Amino acid sequence: MVAGFRRSLSSQNPISNRPSPPAPEKSYHVRSTSLPCRSHPLISQLKDEINVLRAWDSYKPDTRTSAWLCDGLSRLKNVLNALDDLLLLPQTQDSLRPRSNWVQQLLQDSLHFVDVYGIFRASLLALKEEQLAAQVALRRRDDSMIASYVKARKRMDKQMAQLVSVVRCIGRCSVPGTDGDVELDGVLRDVNELTVSVSIALFNGISSPSMSSKSWMGWKKNKKEEGIQEVQDAGLESLRKKGEEEVKMALRRLQELEDCIGGIESGSERVFRSLMNTRVSLLNILTQ
């Protein structure tokens, strides 16, 4: 834990044969009462992680995959972990504690993030169960079970669109005052904005192509917000094929989708835990 930083101002007089000059004025030590200086390792590390995530966010591949999405979740987790380390610094806490309104806004944003990721994880678990049932249905040629899977996918698509709508509103009112540390406030805003961006990509990513051209609650997706390739390959229409080859292909695609969802589930779980840690750190700043 870094305790603090001191800067000293002193002067040295060369030795000469001339009469000694008047005694120098007493040296003073200047101590910062706000966030550490720009060269502090923790804030520098956080900025580096933010730049890495921003590079991922600015790169829009023609074909999005689960690997690309998992990479974004991993980078977001690194950003959130670096932020939590910074929030544990006494200097950071001393800078934020007098501005309780700003911390309250950040705390409210973190609560929204935790809520949407909790809903997402529950939806993902339900989807995995529906996929297992769909694989059994394909082998048995059970139309009713296949229809149940189709309905479950449509429900999840609507739920993901709702989560996107919620996430887009996070942080809009989080504007710090003018009396705080500019550098600290800047990285906090950057983390918030990038968390929103990655979350939107995540929720859109597992939506099926059937929703990409439809409007939900007045919001329409565009091309760069389409689902990942694995979801597109497991399109709903393929589940209705009754030929032997079509059934085998649909089964293979469902199994591939199951694998990619497992990776996304692990990545979102790590992000969820990091969001919880950040929320606890912010709460401690207010209560200590």
- Which range has the top average pLDDT, 25-34, 71-80, 142-151, 218-227? 71-80
Of the candidates 188, 191, 2, 186, the one whose C-alpha atom is nearest the C-alpha of residue 91 is 2
Confirm whether 28 is domain-assigned: no
Of the candidates 284, 280, 255, 275, the one whose C-alpha atom is nearest the C-alpha of residue 119 is 275
Confirm whether 116 is domain-assigned: yes
Share of the chain above pLDDT 70, in %: 73
Mean pLDDT on 149-162: 88
**Amino acid identity, residue 35?**
L
Share of the chain above pLDDT 90, in %: 41
Confirm whether 16 is domain-assigned: no
Count: domains in the chain: 1
Helix 100-140 to helix 143-168 angle (10° resolution) is 170
Q: Which of 14-23, 130-139, 183-192, 272-281 has the lowest mean pLDDT?
A: 14-23
Q: Quick one: pLDDT band at residue 78, thresholds 50, 70, 90?
A: very high
Confirm whether 24 is domain-assigned: no
Confirm whether 30 is domain-assigned: no
The overall average pLDDT reported for the chain is 78
Confirm whether 242 is domain-assigned: yes
Q: What is the DSSP letter of 169?
A: T
Confirm whether 34 is domain-assigned: no
Mean pLDDT on 177-189: 79
Confirm whether 3 is domain-assigned: no
Cβ(206)–Cβ(231) below 8 Å: yes
Is pLDDT above 80 for 213? no
Q: Quick one: pLDDT band at residue 187, thresholds 50, 70, 90?
A: very high
Of the candidates 247, 229, 231, the one whose C-alpha atom is nearest the C-alpha of residue 239 is 247
Domain range for 197 is 39-287
pLDDT tens digits along 110-134: 999 999 999 999 999 988 888 888 8
Q: Which of 28-42, 185-199, 259-273 has the lowest mean pLDDT?
A: 28-42
User: pLDDT at position 27, please?
Assistant: 44
DSSP-based three-state secondary structure for 256:
helix
Q: Show the tokens assigned to 214.
A: 């439809």
Cβ(142)–Cβ(199) below 8 Å: no
Distance (Å, whole) CA 18 – CA 136:
99
Q: Quick one: pLDDT band at residue 232, thresholds 50, 70, 90?
A: low
Q: What is the DSSP letter of 220?
A: E
